[in-house]
Structure 1
Amino acid sequence: MTRSAAVDMTGNVTQREARPSRPARTTPPRGTRSRALLTPKGRAPHPVGTDGIASGRPTMDHGMRVMTNCEIRFLPSGRTIRLSGEGTTLLEATRAAGLPIASACGENGACARCGLEIIAGADSLPGESDRERRIKSRNRIDPDLRLACRIRPVADLTVRARYW
C-alpha cells in the first residue's frame, strides 16, 4: 500500500494509507449485454421487437415481415420522411422525423397516447385489431384515431396528431 497526505479541518497534515485500487470490472460495459443475444452475424435468433433487442415478439401484429418503401407526411408541419426497410412502426417514423409523440407504455399499445389521425392512405392499412379497439375504448380515445405503435405502414400516408 502507498501512503498519501491529507489535510484535516484544522489544517494539520496527516499521513494515511491509500485505499487499494478497485478490482477489474467483471461485468461487460453498459449497453453490451443485449449484443450477447445476437448470433455471430449480428442478427437476433428470433424476431427483434420495437425495443431494439431480441424480445421474442413478432415484428408485426400477425407475425408477418413486410418490406416497406413508402413516404409518411406529417401535418401541419409538412415534414416528410421516407421509410424503407422492414417493419418500422408509425411511432418510430414520427420520432425519426423529430416530432414529439407521446408514449408511456414502451410501445406496447397499452397507454393509447400515440393516437394519430390518418388523413390519407388509411385504406392501405390493415383494419383495427380487437386489441386496438379495446385499448382505445378503455382509455377513452377517439375511435377514428389509430395507435402509431401498432401501425406498420406499407404505402404512403398523411398523418396528423392533435397536439402538433
Structure 2
Amino acid sequence: MSHKDSSVLDVAIRAGVAIDHTCGGNATCGTCVVHIEAGLESLPPREGQELELAEDRGFNDDERLACQIHPISGLVVRRGKL
C-alpha cells in the first residue's frame, strides 16, 4: 500500500493515475475531487480548507479531496468531475 502519511492523491500519482491537482495538493483548488464509492464511513469528517471548499462548492457527501484523505483499507474512489 502506501506510507501512513500519504494522501489518496499521492498514492494515485505514484500509481500513474491521473488526478488533476492544480494547487499541488494544498486543498485550495478542488480539482482533485474524488467520489467515495466504498469506505466513506471510515473517513474522518472534512475539516479546515477541505470543509470550506466543500461548503462553498456544494460538494455531495461522497465527494472528497484526494489531497486531504488518507488511503485506508476498503476505501474505493473514482475520479470526480472529469
TM-score bin (small chain): 0.7 to 0.9
**Which of structures 1 and 2 has the larger relative contact order (alpha carbons within 8 angstroms, sep 6+)?**
2
TM-score, length basis structure 2: 0.82
Aligned residues of 1:137 and 1:143 also touching (Cα < 8 A)? no
Q: Distance in 2 between matches of 1:84 and 1:109?
A: 20
What's the CA shift for 1:153? 2.2
Structure 1 alignment gaps of length 5 or more:
1-82
Q: What letter matches 1:157 in structure 2?
A: L
Bigger radius of gyration among the two? 1
Q: Distance in 2 between matches of 1:152 and 1:84?
A: 9
Which structure dedicates a bigger proportion of its chain to helix?
2
Query: Alignment partner of 1:85: what SS?
Result: coil
Tell me the equivalent position of 1:86.
Answer: 4
What's the CA shift for 1:88? 1.0
Give the alignment's Cα RMSD to 1 decimal. Answer: 1.7
Q: Where in structure 1 do 4 or more consecutive aligned residues deviate above 6 Å? A: none
Query: Alignment partner of 1:100: what SS?
Result: coil
Which structure dedicates a bigger proportion of its chain to strand?
1
Structure 2 alignment gaps of length 5 or more:
none
Q: What letter matches 2:24 in structure 1?
A: G
Cα distance per residue 1:49-100 (max 9 Å; x no partner): xxxxxxxxxxxxxxxxxxxxxxxxxxxxxxxxxx143211000111122111
Aligned equivalent of 1:97, options 5, 15, 24 = 15
Aligned equivalent of 2:71, options 141, 146, 153 = 153
- State how many pairs are aligned: 80
TM-score, length basis structure 1: 0.44
Q: Distance in 2 between matches of 1:115 and 1:141?
A: 12
Aligned residues of 1:133 and 1:143 also touching (Cα < 8 A)? no
